[in-house]
Amino acid sequence: MLEILQLPVLADNYIYLLHEPISGKTAVVDPAVAEPVIAALNAQGWQLDYILNTHHHHDHIGANLQLKQLTNCKIIAAEADQHRIPDIDITVNHNDQFQLGKQIIQVIATPGHTSGHIVFYCAESQALFCGDTLFSLGCGRLFEGSAEQMWQSLQRIKQLPTDTRIYCAHEYTLNNGKFALFVEPDNVDLQQRISEVKQLPAINRSTLPSTLAQEIATNPFLRTNSVSICNALKITEDNEIRVFTELRKLKDTFQA
C-alpha cells in the first residue's frame, strides 16, 4: 500500500506525496509550490523520484523545475501536454501504466477541464489522484474541453471500484455542496455528507479523500440520471449529456 501525505498549500490546493515503502520510491502529485514538499520529504526521510502532473495549469506544475533541480526526479505527464509542461521526462497516454516501486499506477485520460488532463489510479492502494477533473460534490470547469468530453471522462472514473478513495486537488467540498443541495435538495445521502463536512474545519480536518461510492451517491455531476435533478433542470428526455451540460452551465453562474 502507498503511504499518502496530503499537503495543503496556497488558498485551497492539495499536493499529494506518495511513498511506496518496500522500494522507498516517492512521487509527488501536482506540486504547486516547492517548500512544503521539501519540508515533508525531509521530515519523512524520503527521496523524491517522480513528479506526476495531471494537467498544465500553473497551480499544478509551479514547483516542477525547482524540485527537479533539487532532487533530480523525473516528470511524468501527458503526451498531449508536452508543449505546455516544461522538461517532461516520461510522456503517458490513456491506459498507460508505470510502476512506483511495487505499486502499479494506471493513467486515465480525462479531457474536459483541459484538453490534455489525465488522472492517476492505483488499484492496489484503492486511490485516485484526479487533479481538477473530479472534486468532492463537483467537477472542474470546462476551460478547454466540451461538456460531452467531461461527462465521458467522469464516466471513466465512475467505472472504477466504488471503494476507491478520491484525492482531489482542491478543497471545494463545502461550496460544491451548496450547489448540489440546490439541484437535489431531497437527497438524504447528500444532506448527511454536508452535515459531516460542516463539522470538519472545526477539528482542523480535510474533507478529502472521499470515496467513489460517496460521490456517486451525492455528486450531481455523477448523478446525471437522477430524476430529481432532471426535474430541477426541467429536462424530460433521457439525455445524460444534456443534463450534465445544463448542470455545468448552472454551476458556472451559481451564487449561494
Provide the domain limits for residue 172: 1-256
Q: Is 94 a catalytic residue?
A: no
What is the pTM for the complete model shown? 0.97
CA 177 to chain centre: 16
Q: 56, 60, 81, 117: which is the annotated catalytic residue?
A: 60
Render pLDDT for 48-90 as a digit per residue (tens, 0 to 9): 999 999 999 999 999 999 999 999 999 999 999 999 999 999 9
Q: Is 58 a catalytic residue?
A: no
Quote the number of domains for the chain. Answer: 1
Tell me if 255 sits within 8 A of 157, measured CB to CB.
no
Q: Is 19 a catalytic residue?
A: no
Q: 55, 56, 81, 117: which is the annotated catalytic residue?
A: 55
Give the bridge partners for 120, in sequence order: 107, 129
Q: 30, 49, 59, 81: which is the annotated catalytic residue?
A: 59
Q: What dihedral do alpha carbons 107, 109, 114, 120 form, nearest 10°?
A: -20
Tell me if 17 sits within 8 A of 25, measured CB to CB.
no
Strands (E), the chain: 3-9, 13-20, 25-29, 50-52, 74-78, 90-92, 97-100, 103-109, 118-122, 127-129, 134-135, 138-139, 165-167, 210-211
Q: 30, 49, 81, 132: which is the annotated catalytic residue?
A: 132
Q: Is 57 a catalytic residue?
A: yes
For residue 130, the domain's CATH number is: 3.60.15.10
- The predicted pLDDT at position 78 comes to 98
Q: Indicate whether 203 pLDDT > 80.
A: no
Q: Is 170 a catalytic residue?
A: yes
